[in-house]
Structure 1
Amino acid sequence: MSSVVIAIVVVVVVLVAAGLLVAAWSMLRRRRLRTKFGPEYDRTMEESDSRKAAERELSERERRHAEFDIRELSDEEKQRYRAEWAHMQERFVDAPADAVTAADVLVADIMAERGYPTEGYDQQLADLSVEHAATVGHYRAAHEIAIRRSDTRISTEDMRFAVVQYRELFEDLLGSAPGEKKDAKR
């Protein structure tokens, strides 16, 4: 075999190996993003022009999120927010639309206190999706009702549904201490 043929074979082997390495890295990245973002991964894929663009968007969310100074709430802060939540639920009986507004504000307050930026609903969704992908869909559903709460077609049952959806994110944002279980009584 001549040295030219050997050089060509080596170049081809190196290019194939590099291609396999890039494909494996891409597959691992895709799997990691899909696992981390869950349904939000699928939603972003549907809204994007391509898989590459969707994955770039999700990676950008992670990069932005890494710059935040997110903190856990103290036990006292959690108690205070749970008391505010209980008060909001009591108000629901007499003023469901006001209670939905209060739930929306309460979730935004918790986000701000934990260190999440709150400068716009779409950005809030993106920021929350990094650590709260399982409940960001609940927030989306609740907020949709909240912004339409003055619409006469929104029923009390719709508003109740919104409060239940807000509660999913509320509990997720409060978090649980190690060993603490979330129970239905809260």
Structure 2
Amino acid sequence: MSMGTGIIFGMVVAIITALMLVPPVTQSRSGHLRNRFGPEFDAVASQYNGNAKATERELNARVSRFGNLRIQGLTPQMREQYAAQWAGLQERFVDCPTVAVAKANQLLCQLAVAVGFPAESHERQLEALSVHHPYRVDGCRQLHLAAHKHKTATGAAEVEEMRQAMVAGRLLFEELLRARPDEGPRKAGAHRRSPRRFRSVPAQRTGGRTRTIG
């Protein structure tokens, strides 16, 4: 083998080797983001029609913008006040689900702002919450959607959808109540059960039947 042929062969081998190393690096990056964001990774991916690079860019941008967000803890008295308001809305859901969902959506947003999340818009707040509470942030999305979708509702399907939104929203609400000052983004799977469970709606009347929420 001549020297020129050897050089060309070596270059080809180097290129092939480099190409073989690209997929694992990409998969490693996606795997890290998937572990960090959990179901939120899939939610963002669906917005980009499964485009992995676009999903990674979006999630990395969120981390850059909100990763160092300073979380402010609530006083015990404030926690009790927020918890009591939520419990009252759950009870109100029995007779007036649309009003309860609308006010629960407002209360969840207020609590998020109180502990340090953005107040400019729902979209910006949602992005920030997705960085620090990726496994619960969909509760904010569901509650916001239900509050704007169901101005009035009498059918069982609509009431059930709102009930599910209230349950999902409560999970995020509880996490925000437990937030401590300067608490960083929650680790994947690091969900502790609340030491104090908030009261759930006693019974939901739907078409002459009763159903329990939560």
Scaled by the length of structure 1, the TM-score of the pair is: 0.79
Matched, 1:61 2:73: no
Distance 1:28 1:165 in 2: 30
The residue that corresponds to 1:136 in the other structure is 137
The count of residues paired between Structure 1 and Structure 2 equals: 185
Residue 112 of structure 1 and its aligned partner are, at CA, apart by: 0.6
Distance 2:153 2:90 in 1: 21
Where 1:135 maps in the other structure, the secondary structure is coil
Residue 6 of structure 1 and its aligned partner are, at CA, apart by: 5.5
Pick which of 46-55 and 150-159 moved more.
150-159
Residue 28 of structure 1 and its aligned partner are, at CA, apart by: 1.1
Give CA deviations for 1:162-185 in whole Å, capped at 9, x if unaligned: 3222211111222378xx741574
Alignment of 1:119-134 (within 5 A): 119-134=120-135
Distance 1:56 1:183 in 2: 37
The residue that corresponds to 1:27 in the other structure is 27
- 1:142/1:166 contact within 8 Å kept: yes
Give CA deviations for 1:110-169 in whole Å, capped at 9, x if unaligned: 111121113222333222222222222232222221112323456444433332222111
Instruction: Pick closer, same or farther for the CA change 1:64–1:94 going to 2, 3 Å.
Output: same
Identity of aligned residues (%): 35
Instruction: Pick closer, same or farther for the CA change 1:16–1:87 going to 2, 3 Å.
Output: same
The residue that corresponds to 1:173 in the other structure is 176
Where 1:133 maps in the other structure, the secondary structure is coil
Residue 12 of structure 1 and its aligned partner are, at CA, apart by: 4.5
Distance 2:21 2:124 in 1: 34
Give the structure, 1 or 2, with the largest relative contact order (CA under 8 Å, sep 6 or more): 2
The residue that corresponds to 1:146 in the other structure is 147
The residue that corresponds to 1:46 in the other structure is 46
- 1:176/1:182 contact within 8 Å kept: no
Distance 2:64 2:174 in 1: 25
Pick which of 14-23 and 30-39 moved more.
14-23
Where 1:151 maps in the other structure, the secondary structure is coil
Distance 1:62 1:171 in 2: 23
- Structure having the higher helix fraction is 1
Where 2:31 maps in the other structure, the secondary structure is helix
- 1:78/1:174 contact within 8 Å kept: yes
Give CA deviations for 1:91-124 in whole Å, capped at 9, x if unaligned: 3344332221221111101111121113222333
Residue 24 of structure 1 and its aligned partner are, at CA, apart by: 3.0
Scaled by the length of structure 2, the TM-score of the pair is: 0.70
Contiguous gaps of at least 5 residues in structure 1: none
The residue that corresponds to 1:90 in the other structure is 91
Pick which of 58-67 and 2-11 moved more.
2-11
Residue 86 of structure 1 and its aligned partner are, at CA, apart by: 2.1
Instruction: Say what the alpha-carbon RMSD is for the aligned residues.
Output: 2.9
The residue that corresponds to 1:104 in the other structure is 105
Misfit runs of 4+, over 6 Å: none
Paired letter, 1:33: L
